[in-house]
Structure 1
Amino acid sequence: MLEEETHTPLYIRISPKDNVAIVVNDGGLPAGACFPCGLTLQTAVPQGHKVALQDLARDEAVVRYGVVIGYALCDIAAGTWINESMLRMPQAPSLDALPVATQVSSMGTPLTNLTFDGYRNDDGTVGTRNILAISATVQCVTGVVEFAVRQIREQLLPRYPNVDDVVYLEHGYGCGVAIDAPNAEIPIRTLRNLSLNPNFGGKVLLVSLGCEKLQPAKMFPAGSIPIAQDDPYLVTLQDEDNVGFASMIDSILEKAERRLVQLNARKREPCPLSALVVGVQCGGSDAFSGVTANPAVGYATDLLVRAGATVMFSEVTEVRDGIAQLTVRAATSEVGQALLREMQWYDNYLKQGGADRSANTSPGNKRGGLSNIVEKAMGSIVKSGTTPIQGVVAPGERVIHKGLNFLATPASDFICGTLQLAAGMTLHVFTTGRGTPYGLAAVPVIKVATRNSLARRWYDLMDINAGRIATGEASIEEVGQEMFEQMIAIASGRQKSCAEQLRLHNSLVLFNPAPVT
């Protein structure tokens, strides 16, 4: 919009059914502000927060996105700011008797002959980066491996120009845990599949201490990647051959260089866009997330699916309240039942921990205008676009279906990102309204701002400004197309995301619902 127009009080109403809307203007609006429709604010309303569009009686449903996000705890006059303290959250929808696979939409016209420049692997996967990865069976080796990584980066990498980086897959697991408990398989298979990420070339350099519960043969049993004690890519620090710290480092560097020689022989080549695996996620969400950034991601998701690519959306608690919107989109009844199974598993998991889905929303979410998890979920789901859901991936498993997939993860940014990496993600799209410098070392992360003000303040941390949608400067389709084109450029190595340029990345965090002994 023109600069002078931005002073006009503006709100966004998603559905004709909505009896609330969110304030668009930077800094919010004062009491007395009058919208073009004639509605006058009775109270000041912060940016992104809800204003009542009509008088609401106590216990009356408050509707946004065309769904009930809560019930008024008191009478609310039109033009009044509505925040979380004024709402009673609805009960979680029942998982019984939901419609399944009843509204499978068209995939749309296929997008053919689209390519990106990637690194082909022997197993048929394609990486967007060429990275030497070092994994570990136990956190005890972290200090040694981090020292070795610094040496590799300084001494060896300059001699291998086709290798982008060396990454340590650090974690806090491996010993002091109930290694054979039923749910212990989740973190173990996560570590196994992290090492198989396409950006690592299909092999692993593994460092073991020697005495830990998670032995190499348990982490990589026969049938995954057979690893024996004499494996050229296994270093065991407690081996008698390692005499002193320097010997340990030399062992790691010697085996790392063998791997670097192999990786350096790889070259980018044109690959079909159908080989791309994209993970989409949101963090530090606000009320604009479901209006600007996430719908643009959904548009780009549809384009990727039409090109044959694989897209994963995640976060169980952030789809739980909209599960009926997803089961109807299941490509088959089996996919629909898998969705319900993962929802039920997580309901039980939260109950066992004495929590429920209401614990999801953070103080930042609420300051950004999201009153509860119901409202947050409605804005989160739209990242999935409109195409049928082809598969459901359990936590720690690899994605196997092309097209749109739901990966059942916690909503924690770090755990979700870790599980998406383990599932095979090679490119990440992350939307934020409150702002987060989130990044991952193993894959490029494209950051999308939901608001103009965030994009201006964090101009060197955000790759795309979706806030232009709220002010009418761009459409959802235009920003989604821009995002799609940027994905291809970054996947091809022609461009780096802000987080990648600044080498910003978060630690990996395993999801471990099993006991710690």
Structure 2
Amino acid sequence: MSVINKTPADVPLYIKVHDNDNVAIVVNDNGLPAGTRFACGLELSEHIPQGHKVALTDIPQGGNILRYGEIIGYAVRDIAKGSWIDESLVVLPDAPPLASLPLATRTPAPLPPLEGYTFEGYRNADGSAGTKNMLAITTSVHCVAGVVDHVVKIIEHDILPRYPNVDGVVGLNHLYGCGVAINAPAAVVPIRSLHNLALNPNFGGEVMVIGLGCEKLQPERLLAGTDDTQPIEVQDASIMRLQDEQHVGFMAMVDEILEIAERHLQKLNQRKRETIPASELVVGMQCGGSDAFSGVTANPAVGFASDLLVRCGATVMFSEVTEVRDAVHLLTPRVVDEQVGKRMLEEMAWYDNYLDTGKTDRSANPSPGNKKGGLANVVEKALGSIAKSGSSAIVEVLSPGQRPTKRGLIYAATPASDFVCGTQQLASGITIQVFTTGRGTPYGLAAIPVIKMATRTALAKRWHDLMDIDAGTIATGEETIEQVGWRLFEMILDVASGRRQTWSDHWGIRNALAVFNPAPVT
């Protein structure tokens, strides 16, 4: 990545990622007006907004538009040097054909190990480690969500003060459980996800399930899980159904839930933070509200931090199928072996079919905000998104909601939706998440800390009490990708240890869970 003239703020700046690129993005806040001349002699023929592309050469109609050294599209018409290339001028290219992709042809050698890094976390009986000590109330059907929300408020206000070692309580509400085709093949996704959500390491192995009584997804079936989950024995969980005849009136239901909750709180309150190797961390990497800076500032810094975590022996997950699909040809050579490569192709093909069944395709991504931030199409978005994966070998590929069996860099297939991706990564066992954004989002999750990284300094300053770290300094040359990556790595350890609080936790920002359900609703 090259930055042209990286000094005073009033100097026009652009970022060209790859030597072969024929476009660059404008760095300056508020963009640059027509007539602006860069140090290299390039002159703008029209105003170009911040983050949007300028043509570095004349591009003929039908010619390749190159960013990241890859074709992101074809020119709708002749485009003159110095012109603004917005999304209307870019024809979406075909997605990489899955059948011919190279598998494990350039598997990276392991990076030198990083030793001695630790965090202060909560050790669980199954050997996993949490970054929070939370009581989770699992629900088997959405019908009980209102009651659970009511109980959560009581616990937070009246009961938690008696249990100072417990960080909080979260109701695992969702829209699944009844009115659904419970035996449809695709139902494995939501059932597996709900089962594994209850086992997230931040919940300390204390499982309580609230059901209605007449739902299709009975608590016992939720606990049993699917063929690829670890069963939760009924005797190891607390189950309560609102329809049970002993509940005479609403308060009888509430009182029993509170009684069960207190039993679990007593156990959780006995837990204390202890020094744990960084290898026990499970970190999710996600982006949302992306812009053209995402792939050159925040996401590469996240990728560098990902490599540091992998070097520590930790587990790192990146996701978002539609924001990987158009760059998958850059990932399949990096897998550890052909079997992992084939699993990645299976997940890509499954999602291609899922979109096709829904009579849509990958052109439905990006969002209007992504385009306003300079992203022309999903190809450009994907090339920037995969930067979060760093440079390590991909050691495992997970279907939605599966839990990893290996440590290292893992691709966890999920939809690209912020809320769905976050929920599915929770089900896969992440205990902390890094979330990059260029347009800005107050996104947060109750169950885990979410570190939000701004791709632009302007956003970091404007949302100074929502963004945890500013990666915009990379665009202006004030810091390198490596420097910001190290800052993020150190912040991850501090947040995981409870030494530092994220802004989303400070304000109590909690997005609702959104379990992925590709199965029919009846």
Task: Compute the TM-score of the two structures, normalised by the length of structure 1.
Answer: 0.98
Which letter maps to 2:466? Answer: L
Distance between the aligned counterparts of 1:52 and 1:221, measured in 2? 57
Q: 2:240 aligns with which of 235, 239, 250?
A: 235
Matched, 1:451 2:456: yes
Which letter maps to 1:185? Answer: V
Q: Secondary structure in 1 aligned to 2:248?
A: coil
Q: Is the 8 Å Cα contact of residues 7 and 477 (structure 2) preserved in structure 1?
A: no
Q: 1:469 aligns with which of 471, 474, 494?
A: 474
Q: Which residue of 2 aligns with 1:361?
A: 366
Which letter maps to 1:273? Answer: A
Q: Is the 8 Å Cα contact of residues 7 and 476 (structure 2) preserved in structure 1?
A: no
Q: Deviations over 1:139-186 (max 9, x none)?
A: 101111111111111111000000000001110111100011000110
Q: Which residue of 2 aligns with 1:315?
A: 320
Q: Which residue of 2 aligns with 1:212?
A: 215
Q: Is the 8 Å Cα contact of residues 232 and 255 (structure 1) preserved in structure 2?
A: no
Which letter maps to 1:85? Answer: S
Alignment of 1:343-422 (within 5 A): 343-422=348-427
Matched, 1:327 2:345: no
Structure 1 residues not aligned, in runs of 5+: none
Q: Is the 8 Å Cα contact of residues 208 and 216 (structure 1) preserved in structure 2?
A: yes
Matched, 1:258 2:284: no
Q: Which residue of 1 aligns with 2:147?
A: 144
Deviates more, 1:233-242 or 1:219-228: 219-228
Q: Secondary structure in 2 aligned to 1:511?
A: coil
Matched, 1:197 2:204: no
Q: Is the 8 Å Cα contact of residues 216 and 227 (structure 1) preserved in structure 2?
A: no
Question: What is the aligned residue count?
Answer: 515
Q: 1:224 aligns with which of 223, 227, 231?
A: 231
Give the Å deviation of 1:3: 11
Which letter maps to 2:332? Answer: T
Matched, 1:270 2:275: yes
Q: Secondary structure in 2 aligned to 1:361?
A: coil
User: Compared with structure 1, are the counterparts of its residues 4 and 480 closer, same or farther at alpha carbon in structure 2 (3 Å cutoff)?
Assistant: closer
Which letter maps to 1:195? Answer: A
Distance between the aligned counterparts of 1:270 and 1:188, measured in 2? 34
Which letter maps to 1:380? Answer: S
Distance between the aligned counterparts of 1:221 and 1:6, measured in 2? 59
Deviates more, 1:266-275 or 1:3-12: 3-12
Q: Which residue of 2 aligns with 1:306?
A: 311
Q: Secondary structure in 2 aligned to 1:166?
A: strand
Structure 2 residues not aligned, in runs of 5+: none
Q: Secondary structure in 1 aligned to 2:520?
A: coil
Give the Å deviation of 1:205: 1.3
Which letter maps to 1:154? Answer: H
Q: 2:498 aligns with which of 468, 493, 498?
A: 493
Q: Is the 8 Å Cα contact of residues 6 and 13 (structure 2) preserved in structure 1?
A: no
Matched, 1:434 2:439: yes
Give the Å deviation of 1:393: 0.6
Q: Secondary structure in 1 aligned to 2:334?
A: coil
Matched, 1:338 2:343: yes
Distance between the aligned counterparts of 2:335 and 2:59, measured in 1? 36
Matched, 1:135 2:138: yes
CA RMSD of aligned residues (A): 1.3
Q: Which residue of 1 aligns with 2:291?
A: 286
Q: Is the 8 Å Cα contact of residues 190 and 397 (structure 1) preserved in structure 2?
A: yes
Which letter maps to 1:508? Answer: L
Q: Which residue of 2 aligns with 1:65?
A: 68
Q: Is the 8 Å Cα contact of residues 103 and 338 (structure 2) preserved in structure 1?
A: yes
Q: Deviations over 1:120-139 (max 9, x none)?
A: 00111000000000010001
Q: Secondary structure in 2 aligned to 1:499?
A: helix
Q: 2:93 aligns with which of 90, 93, 96?
A: 90
User: Compared with structure 1, are the counterparts of its residues 58 and 4 closer, same or farther at alpha carbon in structure 2 (3 Å cutoff)?
Assistant: closer
Q: Secondary structure in 1 aligned to 2:442?
A: coil
Q: Which residue of 1 aligns with 2:165?
A: 162
Q: Which residue of 1 aligns with 2:191?
A: 188
Matched, 1:23 2:30: no
Alignment of 1:73-112 (within 5 A): 73-112=76-115
Matched, 1:483 2:504: no
Q: Secondary structure in 2 aligned to 1:96?
A: helix
Give the Å deviation of 1:4: 8.1
Give the Å deviation of 1:203: 2.5
Q: Is the 8 Å Cα contact of residues 20 and 62 (structure 1) preserved in structure 2?
A: yes
Which letter maps to 2:49? Answer: P
Q: Deviations over 1:80-132 (max 9, x none)?
A: 00011001110011001211111111221101121111100011100000000
Q: Is the 8 Å Cα contact of residues 437 and 504 (structure 1) preserved in structure 2?
A: yes
Q: Is the 8 Å Cα contact of residues 107 and 305 (structure 1) preserved in structure 2?
A: no
Q: Which residue of 2 aligns with 1:36?
A: 39
Q: Secondary structure in 2 aligned to 1:102?
A: coil
User: Compared with structure 1, are the counterparts of its residues 58 and 441 closer, same or farther at alpha carbon in structure 2 (3 Å cutoff)?
Assistant: same
Distance between the aligned counterparts of 2:124 and 2:237, measured in 1? 20
Which letter maps to 2:234? Answer: I
Q: Secondary structure in 2 aligned to 1:134?
A: strand
Give the Å deviation of 1:232: 6.2
Q: Once superposed, which parts of structure 1, at least 4 consecutive aligned residues long, lie more than 3 Å away? A: 1-4
Which letter maps to 1:413? Answer: D
Give the Å deviation of 1:397: 0.9
Which letter maps to 1:266? Answer: R
Distance between the aligned counterparts of 2:319 and 2:206, measured in 1? 26
Task: Compute the TM-score of the two structures, normalised by the length of structure 2.
Answer: 0.97
Q: Deviations over 1:417-445 (max 9, x none)?
A: 00000000000000000000000000000
Distance between the aligned counterparts of 2:454 and 2:109, measured in 1? 30
Distance between the aligned counterparts of 2:202 and 2:184, measured in 1? 31
Distance between the aligned counterparts of 2:197 and 2:36, measured in 1? 53
Which letter maps to 1:494? Answer: R
Distance between the aligned counterparts of 1:314 and 1:129, measured in 2? 23
Give the Å deviation of 1:225: 0.9
Identity %: 60
